[in-house]
Amino acid sequence: MKKSGLSLILFFLVAMMSYPMTTIAKNLENDSLKVDICIIGGDNYFVYKIPKHLHNNTPYYEMKNNIESSLASHWKVGDAHYEAQQSDVAYTFFIKDLIHDKQNGQMKIAIPYNILVGMFAENEAIQLRILTSKLTDWKVNAKDWATLGFVEPLTYFSDQEYVYEGAVNELLQQRVGHFNGTVIKGQIVLHSVIYFNFIIVQLIACIFLSKRLKNRIIEDPENMHQFRKLNYMYQIIPIMIIVMQIVFLVMSGLLTAFSIYFNPGVDLLVIVGPILFNIVLLPMFFATIESEISKELENNSFDSDM
């Protein structure tokens, strides 16, 4: 009893000590400036998450204009907007010409840090995050990311992250970030083959299940009274195949890899085409089956009367 009571007391003491440390860590995280560089192909964009207290009474629209004018001195800025959140304000700027050289799966990006973050105080803490496809390999200034203070956290979706945490001044000292990216063609081909093979799996499933449904009703015509219920039940597996196809597209990295590798328009066709085809297969096999079954039952009834 004494040991259990002592353990309980120690548990509460550890919990009480860790709570303020966790709170302080969260406050430090919320107080820092965050900049996301999203390299996703056609619609590349920057996101600035600026804590409200760092605005120093500057109106949000004026802050947006200040950042936009700095970015516009080097890039072609498209749509720009901001969204006020609980503790910070998120400013999003779409950059039309972020990738200045792109050919045969090779990409080059140059980011002058004075243009990116030069509008902030040099001693300001900043988190710079690069987001791109898992199926691409990037180097900064022809070096490994770790040598310049970047870390690569584990991600579960299609994006790969490179995160830098430090002061604005440390970034400014690096002057320009030269990012060279390469599409990992072997992996993208392998994942593409798997992605397009969902069409074959869907086709086989629809043929097999529609025939099973048809035979079940013809063998027992009483099941025709619950045709809709059975029809929906036999479509569950094809619908699950479509869901698995979408999950694979997102989790594998193909979603952003296609956008980076292919030109606008072609990437949309490659991304959406296989999913739409699998969706179209459902009515092709299951929407017309009721009339086919009815005709066959009528023919069977006529033959039995003869």
Question: What string of DSSP letters covers the chain?
Answer: -HHHHHHHHHHHHHHHHHHHHHHHHHHHHHHSEEEEEE--SSSEEEEEEEEGGGGTT--HHHHHHHHHHHHHTTS-EEEEEEEE-SSEEEEEEEETTS--EEETTEEEEEEEHHHHHTTS-TT-EEEEEEEEETTEEEEETTB-GGGGTEE----SSSEEEEEEEEEHHHHHHH-EEEEEEEE-HHHHHHHHHHHHHHHHHHHHHHHHHHHHHHHHHHHSGGGGGGHHHHHHHHTHHHHHHHHHHHHHHHHHSHHHHHHHHSPTTHHHHHHHHHHHHHHHHHHHHHTSHHHHHHHHHHHHHHHHH-
Q: Please give the pLDDT value at position 299.
A: 64
Per-residue model confidence as pLDDT tens digits over 5-30: 444 444 444 444 444 444 433 444 45
The answer, yes or no, to whether residue 211 has pLDDT greater than 80, is yes
Mean pLDDT for the stretch of residues 217-223: 79
Q: Is 242 left (phi over 0), alpha (psi -120 to 50) or beta?
A: alpha
User: Judging by beta carbons within 10 Å of its beta carbon (0-12, 13-18, 19+), is residue 297 exposed, middle or buried?
Assistant: middle
The answer, yes or no, to whether residue 71 has pLDDT greater than 90, is yes
Mean pLDDT for the stretch of residues 52-66: 88
The answer, yes or no, to whether residue 225 has pLDDT greater than 60, is yes
Q: Please give the pLDDT value at position 297.
A: 65
Q: Please give the pLDDT value at position 238.
A: 94
Average pLDDT, the chain: 81
Going by pLDDT thresholds of 50, 70 and 90, the confidence category of residue 115 is: very high
pLDDT top residue among 134 and 78: 78
The answer, yes or no, to whether residue 123 has pLDDT greater than 80, is yes
Q: Please give the pLDDT value at position 157.
A: 67
31 and 87 in contact (C-beta within 8 Å)?
no
Phi, psi dihedral angles at 105 (to 5 degrees) = 80, 5
Domains of the chain: residue spans and CATH: 30-183 (2.60.40), 186-305 (no CATH)
Going by pLDDT thresholds of 50, 70 and 90, the confidence category of residue 93 is: very high
Q: Please give the pLDDT value at position 156.
A: 66
This prediction has a pTM of 0.73
217 and 97 in contact (C-beta within 8 Å)?
no
Going by pLDDT thresholds of 50, 70 and 90, the confidence category of residue 285 is: confident
Mean pLDDT for the stretch of residues 144-162: 75
Q: How far apart are CA 35 and CA 38, in angstroms?
A: 10
Q: Please give the pLDDT value at position 243.
A: 94
Q: Please give the pLDDT value at position 67.
A: 92
**% of the chain residues with pLDDT over 90:** 29
Q: Please give the pLDDT value at position 26.
A: 43
Mean pLDDT for the stretch of residues 248-259: 84
Mean pLDDT for the stretch of residues 101-120: 86
